[in-house]
Chains A and B, each alone.
Chain A
Amino acid sequence: MTEHSLWRLSRALHRAINDRQFDALTELLDDDVDWAIYGPIDMFPFLGARLGKDAVLETIRQIADTVHIRRLDRETLMLDDGAAATMVRCAMTTQESDKPITARLAQFMHFRAGKLARLRILIDTFDLVEQTLGRPIDLPRIGSFA
């Protein structure tokens, strides 16, 4: 039974972010990969949309410059033909100050010929910003609450 592409990609991403070894990841990205991690790009420039292998590799380098992954707990996993969805709890530390940050990520991946063709990641970004700042955000008292 052939290994699902998710596992190879997961190992390659981990090595790229933590060890700055990009060869395996380079091989697993489709040339036209469509990539997006939703979140405030003013605060985290490595978030947002990227198109193409080179742009994605540059983003991974930015992520590697910013955080180190300490632990990944896969809470939910679904594998489909050429696609995967996971919910992962990711414990990281910042490269700058070793500050611990924990985020739960929802990931949707589509593969073409074994390579990543499309990725979407959603994060509880309000919580991520507060953890990064190290304190709660004091919101302006404007507008209507949900």
Chain B
Amino acid sequence: MIEHINKQRVRKLLEAHAAGDFDAVLAFCTDDLEHFASAPIDIFPHLGRRHGKAEVRQMWEVARSRYADVRHEIKTMICEGNKVATDLRIFLRKRDNERIVQYDLAAFYTLRDGRISRIREIMDTFDLVQQVLECDLSRLLIAGTARP
């Protein structure tokens, strides 16, 4: 079954990414890989839309320069044909102060000829911003001190 094989490919990609082995990760991807993460790019300038292995690698390397001990838990993985969707829990350690960041991430992968050609990510960015800035943004907005 192609679904079983494609799930295995995505699992291997995730394992290599967690290990920081970007050569191995990119070996699972097509040269024209597209990556898009919906996130506020003024706070996460390395996210947004990236095209091609070099740009995607640079994005991952910037993230890895700021975070260590990356790991993930796969909560759900669903596959149909050449498409795989994963519901992940991501764990990171901030290098500057050792604090742990954890968040949920939905990642949708499209495969072409056995390689991943498209990655699309959606996450609870409000919670992620709060963890990165280490502030209770909801409270600040409700109190008016974040000047919405």
Q: Which positions in A face B, CB cutoff 8 Å?
A: 38-40, 42-43, 76-80, 83-85, 87, 104-106, 108, 110, 120, 122-129, 133, 135, 137-140, 142-146
A135 and B148 within 8 A (CB):
yes
Partner of B78, one of A78, A142, A145: A78
- B138 lies within 8 A of chain A by Cβ: yes
Q: Cβ of A128: which chain B residues have Cβ within 8 Å of it?
A: 126
- The number of chain B residues touching the other chain, given as a range, is 35 or more
Partner of B138, one of A42, A77, A83, A133: A42
A140 and B140 within 8 A (CB):
yes
Partner of B139, one of A42, A79, A87, A123: A42
A125 and B133 within 8 A (CB):
no
Partner of B124, one of A80, A123, A133: A123
| Cα(A66)–Cα(B46), bound, Å | 34
B139 and A76 within 8 A (CB):
no
Which of these binds chain A: B9-17, B25-33, B49-57, B81-89?
B81-89
A127 and B38 within 8 A (CB):
yes
- Smallest CB-CB separation from B130: which chain A residue? A40
Q: In the complex, what's the smallest C-beta–C-beta distance from A105 to chain B, in angstroms?
A: 8
- Smallest CB-CB separation from A110: which chain B residue? B76
B124 and A38 within 8 A (CB):
yes
A79 and B80 within 8 A (CB):
yes
Partner of B76, one of A40, A43, A108: A108
Q: Cβ of B97: which chain A residues have Cβ within 8 Å of it?
A: 144
A138 and B148 within 8 A (CB):
yes
B96 and A144 within 8 A (CB):
yes
A122 and B132 within 8 A (CB):
no
Partner of B125, one of A43, A80, A124, A139: A124
A78 and B147 within 8 A (CB):
no
Please give 20 more A-B residue pairs, beta carbons under 8 A apart, in addition to A106-B108, A108-B87, A139-B137. A76-B108, A78-B78, A78-B79, A80-B79, A83-B76, A84-B78, A87-B108, A106-B85, A122-B105, A122-B106, A122-B124, A125-B125, A126-B39, A126-B129, A127-B40, A128-B126, A133-B141, A133-B148, A145-B44, A145-B133
- Smallest CB-CB separation from B140: which chain A residue? A140
Q: In the complex, what's the smallest C-beta–C-beta distance from A66 to chain B, in angstroms?
A: 17
Q: Cβ of A87: which chain B residues have Cβ within 8 Å of it?
A: 85, 106, 108, 120, 122
